[in-house]
Structure 1
Amino acid sequence: MIFIFLISLIFIVTSAQNCYNPQIVSTSYTTQDATILKAVAFISNFYVKCETGDPGHFYAWLGETITPVASVGEGKYQISWTEEVKTAKTGIINVKVYNDTGYLALRKAIRAGEGNLNVPVFTTLKINHSGVYGGPWISCELLAAVFSIAVAYIAIHFRTKLLN
């Protein structure tokens, strides 16, 4: 009798941890100005509300690495990373997010040498990065130097004309 009670208790506890019918709302931010920065910051905040169960822990697939997702509040999570300005991707970046079950399946697939295509994804976040502003085409210093040389040339040219 106790054995059946323990098994049913374990079943109830493990089934309560799964998140059913999640509602996910996400926002993202990327660095837009690269005139004084060497790296582009990518930040994605998302909120998960489950109809039943607990969302648990999340892990993000970033490029070729798995990164834990930071929990920043009740049902609020954040993923952040940086990339060099020269190698940062532009356009829509898809970030796959895995829950505990998906993370274990992903680790197993990586160890077996399989791809992550058959692993169940909890959600895919879309981050839109339109690129970075690298500054004006002509710097102010160069423009001031060219303007100074032009004014000096005109002044010397008219001075020599007046003296002749």
Structure 2
Amino acid sequence: MHTFLETLLFATLLISAVTAKVTSHSYTTAEDISSSKTLFISQFQFEKEPPRGTLYAEVGNRNLIVAKSADTDEFQVTWTEEHKLAPAGKYEVKIFTEEQQSNLRKARRDGESTDSITPVATLEIIHQGVSKGPWMSSESVACVAAVLIMYYAYTKKGAILA
């Protein structure tokens, strides 16, 4: 009977850890003219009490430390990627506690499966991709137009004086 209660308690704790609800909003770079890399920022807040200690995020094969705001209960995950390596689409950000992150590293180092380690929360970032912008900048168009107008005025002036 004692084992059944322990199992039930463990299952309840596991389910509550898996279903931790967060509200989040994100930003990604929209154009590549002003930057050399795509920036991903996701801010989130737990609807209930956030886990204690340091939080970690996993995006693909990249492990990141989650920053916590000193003034509010908001957390932030930020990373950059080369434009070519950051195609448009959904990016899944898994949030782990310090203990879970340690277990992940140990399981990977030992070649074991990490399927049993469930994240505290999972965020989804939708990246629209980066725009290459116009193939010719507006400054270049203005310069070409100015040169053409000057050439036209100079040739007309020569025709009037001749």
Q: TM-score, normalised by structure 1?
A: 0.68
Q: Give the equivalent residue in structure 2 for 1:129.
A: 127
- Secondary structure at 1:125's aligned position in 2? strand
Q: Give the equivalent residue in structure 1 for 2:84.
A: 86
Counterpart CA distance in 2 for 1:68 and 1:32 is: 24
Q: Confirm or deny that 1:60 pairs with 2:44.
A: no
Give, in angstroms, the shift of residue 54 of structure 1.
Answer: 5.1
| Number of residue pairs matched by the alignment | 147
Q: Give the equivalent residue in structure 2 for 1:101.
A: 99
Q: Which of 20, 31, 48 lines up with 2:29 in the alignment? A: 31
Instruction: State the percentage of identical aligned residues.
Output: 34
Task: Output one character per residue of 1:106-151: Cα deviation in whole Å (capped at 9) or x when no partner.
Answer: 1121111235333211111101110112220333455457657877
Q: Label 1:147 to 1:123 Cα distance change in 2 as closer, same or farther (>3 A).
A: same
Q: Which of 57, 69, 72 lines up with 2:69 in the alignment? A: 72
CA RMSD between the two structures: 3.1
- Secondary structure at 1:29's aligned position in 2? strand
Q: Give the aligned residue type for 1:55.
A: P
- Secondary structure at 1:28's aligned position in 2? strand
Q: Give the equivalent residue in structure 2 for 1:3.
A: none
Counterpart CA distance in 2 for 1:54 and 1:37 is: 34
Counterpart CA distance in 1 for 2:107 and 2:65 is: 18
Runs of 4+ in 1 over 4 A off after TM superposition: 18-21, 141-159
Structure label with greater radius of gyration: 1
| Runs of 5+ consecutive residues of structure 1 not aligned to the other structure | 1-17, 160-164
Q: Answer whether contact 2:26 2:42 (CA < 8 A) is retained.
A: yes
Task: Output one character per residue of 1:70-115: Cα deviation in whole Å (capped at 9) or x when no partner.
Answer: 1114432100011122222311111111123321221121111235
Q: Which has the higher contact order (CA 8 A, sep 6+)?
A: 2
Task: Output one character per residue of 1:18-57: Cα deviation in whole Å (capped at 9) or x when no partner.
Answer: 894633111101111211210111100000133xx65123
Matches for 1:42-53 after TM superposition, within 5 Å? 42-50=40-48
Counterpart CA distance in 1 for 2:131 and 2:84 is: 12
Counterpart CA distance in 1 for 2:155 and 2:73 is: 73
Counterpart CA distance in 2 for 1:38 and 1:144 is: 25
